[in-house]
Structure 1
Amino acid sequence: MIDCKINAMVLLTISIAFICDAKTSRCHYNLNRVKQLVAHCENQGFTLVPRNLNNTIQELDLSNNMIKTLENGTFENYSILEVLILNHNRISEVHIHAFVGLPYLKVLKIRDNFINITKLSTRVFSPLVNLTTLDIGRNAEQSPVNKSFVYPDKTFAALKRLQFLSLDLFMFPEFGDGFRSLQFITVLNFDRYEIIESTQNFSLDLNNNALVCSCTTLDFLLWLTKTPVSFVNGNTYTCTMSNNSQVNLMEVTKDIKRYFADCNATVWLRIGIVLISCIVSVSIPLSIVYYYRWKIILFMFRKFRRAVERGLHVNYEYDVYVSYEERSITWIKNNLLPKTEQEWGLKIC
């Protein structure tokens, strides 16, 4: 009886191991443009991060799975990983040591999940000493109504080499002194914002900001026109236009149509360029096929003939049989025979 139980336990263990291996085997590998090994594990239904992948991978894509928790030591086996993509999962819990063992990680994308950044440990990003890109936008709803949203500056302060940061922008945001340590930031992207139209007056401090008035910041400028905002230093703020000229910010917001009339034109220009590129990319191959159409037809004919000969166990001496009347013999000798036998390489009977 004991032996039966032991055998059953062994069989169960083997079955579980087989199931796990079957899941991870659905990941496939390739080399990226710089010859780094990439593991593609997207859309595989994983509920946990697989830990038995090839440990020499430098990029891991786990997008569109059902992962809910990043446990401590989840990525310890992938010590040379440089790019980690966890977009479109159900992650709501990130343990304090989840990213331990990733000293070379440069890119972390964890957007479209359920992470509340205010609940992240202040040490969760500490192991990521070489991280340059962090995309943690489009996550859980975190903004208290009509209250300031204080960003967890100490959590992000550990990322000394960060250059690109994508966050959600909430109503009445407050950024602490910890963000001052991010001295290499070149792009701060607010992918989703909850700055809503408000009937309440509130002040906006834009000191020491290099404001740019362009098509990319048009949404922010439109918000200024719809929301009762008072600036801390009055209406003295200026912004840089696309021609590098300095214009008073309030003047720009009062005449949006005049300053940004070409924004829609730019969009249509991009659409036109894409359409032309698609037409060119399709027409060139079609032109090549049309130009060589006879050679392609002859190539297919020879393939078909060989298949027929093998099937019938015969070897035909001629390729073409021509039936004609006496009035056509001159055209056949002067035109058809040279074209068929000399140019096309077919033998006429």
Structure 2
Amino acid sequence: MCEDNQTMVTKIILLGFQNIHRIKTLLFCLFLLSYMVILIGNLLIILLVSTNDHLNRPMYFFLKHLALADLLLSTSILPIMLHVILMDGGNLSIFGCMSQLFFTIFSSFAQCCLLTVMSFDRYLAICNPLRYSSIMNINLSFQLVIGSWTIGSILVLCEAILIYQLQFCTFNVIDHFFCDFAPLLALSSSDSFILIWVDFVFNIFVIFLPFVLVTVSYVCIFISILKISSTGGKKKAFSTCSSHLAIVCTYYGTLIAIYILPTGGNSLNENQFKSLAFVALTPFINPIIYSLRNKEIKEALKLTNRKVLAMHQ
């Protein structure tokens, strides 16, 4: 409980980006356009994979769920961020702030697990192609996806129980555009030692360990590709995993930039823009990478377009 001379906080004030008054409208339009691309692109991938039989394969099944995780992450943050930019700040209730944090953590954990599952799928396809169909069947694909979402749900529930026990007294201002873990913890007047260590252990389990597994998978993949005698065979094998590799590099690159690389003198603004790269860049480029680099996605898009045109004739 808050002390007698302290006020119980019921709302969190988000300051957003400071000193952007001259370019506020430009930033709003830019991020609104980015969010529209994220929505349309990821929804399109979900639609194409769900409605085209020739995309009924594990790789695209995983991609559909990765697109769903991208939508969840961006939708939990970007609409509120747009309001904060337009209004030079904003506020959320304590419950709303915590809910935003939970959805952000949940989708991030699920993304890490799904990217790991996708790297395992590419490892089997390239390093063990003869047994790929028998190992990566429909049942295993479904179990891996359910496991990814379940891990995210269980871990975020554990953190939610601890976060809901925090007390917020007097101070309610966050110099950020969303309710991130560290700024929210800094506002709390409760002892957060256990929560910090729980979050650290979870990050090791869901972020660092999957990163190691993804790295090992691609080391094995590159070794297998180098053993292929023909240049055409090497290009074909690499093309099957290049899109996923680009997404992995973007995703973990932004995570490393946020949590590992040191910040400069203007650390608050620097952390904001690093966080922005994480919540907006990866969901933005995922559908673009798979649309531009994947022939089967292109063919599915053309086929769906022809069906739509035929229905209106």
Tell me which interval the TM-score lies in, with the shorter structure as reference length: under 0.3
Bigger CA radius of gyration: 1
Question: Could you say which structure has the greater relative contact order, defined with CA pairs below 8 angstroms and 6 or more residues apart?
Answer: 2
Higher strand fraction (1 or 2)? 1
Q: Return the TM-score normalized by structure 2.
A: 0.21
